[in-house]
Copies of this chain bind each other. A is one copy, B any other.
Amino acid sequence: MTSKARVVIVGAGFGGLNAARALGKAALQITVIDRKNFHTFQPLLYQVATAGLSPGEIAAPVRSILRSHKNVEVLMAEVTGFDLERRIVQTPDADIPYDYLIIAAGATHSYFGHEDWEPLAPGLKTIEDALEIRRRVLLAFELAERQAAAGESELPLNFVVVGGGPTGVELAGTLAEISRHALAHEFRSIDPRRTHILLIEGGPRVLPTYPEDLSRSAEEQLRGLGVEVRTSAMVTLVEPGAVDIGETRLPATVVLWAAGVAASPLGKKLGAPVDRAGRVPVQADLSLPGHPEVFVIGDLAAAKDEQGKMLPGVAPVAIQEGKFVAKLIREEVERLGSNRNPEGAAPLSRSVRQGGGFDSRPTFHYWDKGSLATIGRAAAVAQFGKIHISGFIAWLSWLFVHILFLIGFRNRLLVFIQWAWSYVTYERGARLITGSTYLPGWTAPKPAASVTSERPVAQEIHSGTSK
């Protein structure tokens, strides 16, 4: 029996995975727990939602990624709570003890109290969400074609994206691209190029966390792609087939939600106070106040930079936090356990009991390497320090960075091929409608309508009658 200190990591997103990899070579026993068996490369989820990539191309099994780290165990389980006193993570079928706990449970959508809007306006946080969005978007075109072919009044193709942050901008831009290019020549009764795409942002400009000039550029690029952008517009109601902005009712065949983010509900189960978005305020070393052995990182953490400004919920923050916490733990265990006795008795206890345990911990500093937001084909904005770029070069940077950070050589190769293919052909490779054929607010027209007003020529023939 070893007496290695035991680290439990909850969540295999960017934060958790980077912590696990950085701890993977230390003399520690690591358990990674996630509800899913795979890590999702969230920055490319919108590509799955818009039929550009398949789920398997932006995801990789957690245990595959961590396979070479023999001290890491992976469990697919739902964490239901914590017992911070007994130092236990609770799951439905086991209590999992820890010496150090890293909580990296991420975030989900927020409907700001209107949770009943969710079935009408899916958000984009998981592979399942992406497939649901893909299903609705593609289905809308199919239903419109069917209805038009049947001679019914044409189903208006109004796509409404709520929220002008990076996800909303990506979705709106790519929907425009699809309707103007990929689908343009494949329908006979409708013209997909006439699809109306509306991006609604509550604040005064899209990409509110970006510099103003880039927001303006993003808005121009969106308009260039055919997206209508409405800023300072708050959605007050979502109903099947419609969205209200105050008194104005807008028709909406498909509504996508990119407006709000709420931290994982696991944050509230720590017993510590959380902020309005459900995030857990942490110390400068990213630990939970009063619990130096518990760390909260990634989108779930309310961490601040030196100026007291909240760090954004983006992948680079989570990655750096994961690595920082891993290094801290590794060094602390080494320092505290340096006079470990050869029989392997509890190594950390002496120095801790002597009060030298968690003093003088380092402070986390986020190194902001820049921000990139893609808009559509050859359209993006980028900020690297004081350098602001728009358009094709920004888009190329975005492509490069996203292929580079994808996990797994196979995924990188497949995604690169698909993007090259899409760029040249304008096609989207994963246009499958799976699951139900229900679309909120859509009702089938009455049967018995003919697909064409034209009479089939041979009907009278085969039956031997004539006019």
Is A224 part of the contact surface with B, judged by Cβ < 8 Å?
no
Q: Determine chain A's interface SS by DSSP, over half rule.
A: loop
- The reply to whether B149 and A353 form a contact with Cβ atoms under 8 Å apart is no
Given contacts A145-B75, A450-B97, contact A37 B138 (CB under 8 A): yes
When each residue 34-48 of chain A gets 1 if its CB lies under 8 Å from chain B and 0 otherwise, what string results? 011110000000000
Given contacts A64-B186, A99-B459, A142-B37, contact A93 B432 (CB under 8 A): no
- The reply to whether B421 and A6 form a contact with Cβ atoms under 8 Å apart is no
Could you tell me which residues of chain A, from 347 to 376, have a CB within 8 Å of some CB in chain B?
A: 347-349, 352-353, 357
> Which residue of B142, B346, B430, B455 contacts A458 across the interface (Cβ within 8 Å)?
B346
Inside 8 A of A53's CB, which chain B residues have their CB? 56
Is A387 part of the contact surface with B, judged by Cβ < 8 Å?
no
Inside 8 A of A433's CB, which chain B residues have their CB? 36-38, 76
- The reply to whether B466 and A349 form a contact with Cβ atoms under 8 Å apart is yes
A436 to chain B, nearest CB (A): 10
Is A385 part of the contact surface with B, judged by Cβ < 8 Å?
no
Closest Cβ neighbor of A150 among chain B residues: B94
Given contacts A94-B447, A461-B348, contact A417 B418 (CB under 8 A): no
- The reply to whether B457 and A99 form a contact with Cβ atoms under 8 Å apart is yes
- The reply to whether A146 and B94 form a contact with Cβ atoms under 8 Å apart is yes
A31 to chain B, nearest CB (A): 7
Most chain B CB neighbours (cut-off 10 Å) among A4, A56, A57, A435 = A56
Could you tell me which residues of chain A, from 1 to 28, have a CB within 8 Å of some CB in chain B?
A: 1-6
A425 to chain B, nearest CB (A): 8
- The reply to whether A96 and B348 form a contact with Cβ atoms under 8 Å apart is no
A103 to chain B, nearest CB (A): 16
CA distance A452 to B8 in the complex (A): 13
Closest Cβ neighbor of A68 among chain B residues: B185
Is A87 part of the contact surface with B, judged by Cβ < 8 Å?
yes
- The reply to whether B93 and A445 form a contact with Cβ atoms under 8 Å apart is yes
Interface residues on chain A, number (Cβ under 8 Å): 103
Could you tell me which residues of chain A, from 329 to 349, have a CB within 8 Å of some CB in chain B?
A: 346-349
Inside 8 A of A466's CB, which chain B residues have their CB? 346, 349, 353
When each residue 173-198 of chain A gets 1 if its CB lies under 8 Å from chain B and 0 otherwise, what string results? 00000000000011111000000000
Inside 8 A of A377's CB, which chain B residues have their CB? none
Inside 8 A of A146's CB, which chain B residues have their CB? 75-77, 93-94
> Which residue of B2, B188, B431 contacts A454 across the interface (Cβ within 8 Å)?
B2
Is A236 part of the contact surface with B, judged by Cβ < 8 Å?
no
Given contacts A56-B430, A449-B95, contact A63 B461 (CB under 8 A): no
- The reply to whether A128 and B435 form a contact with Cβ atoms under 8 Å apart is yes
- The reply to whether B447 and A93 form a contact with Cβ atoms under 8 Å apart is yes
CA distance A308 to B454 in the complex (A): 42
CA distance A434 to B457 in the complex (A): 49
> Please, could you name 11 A-B residue pairs with CB atoms under 8 Å apart, sorted by A?
A1-B454, A3-B454, A5-B456, A37-B142, A59-B432, A78-B437, A94-B146, A94-B451, A99-B457, A346-B461, A349-B458
List residues of A whose CB falls within 8 A of some B CB.
Answer: 1-6, 31, 35-38, 53-57, 59, 61, 63-64, 67, 73-78, 85-87, 90-100, 127-128, 131, 138, 142, 145-147, 149-152, 185-189, 292-293, 346-349, 352-353, 357, 410, 413-414, 417-418, 421, 427, 429-435, 437, 444-452, 454-464, 466
Top 4 closest A-B pairs, CB basis? A56-B430, A99-B458, A54-B54, A94-B150
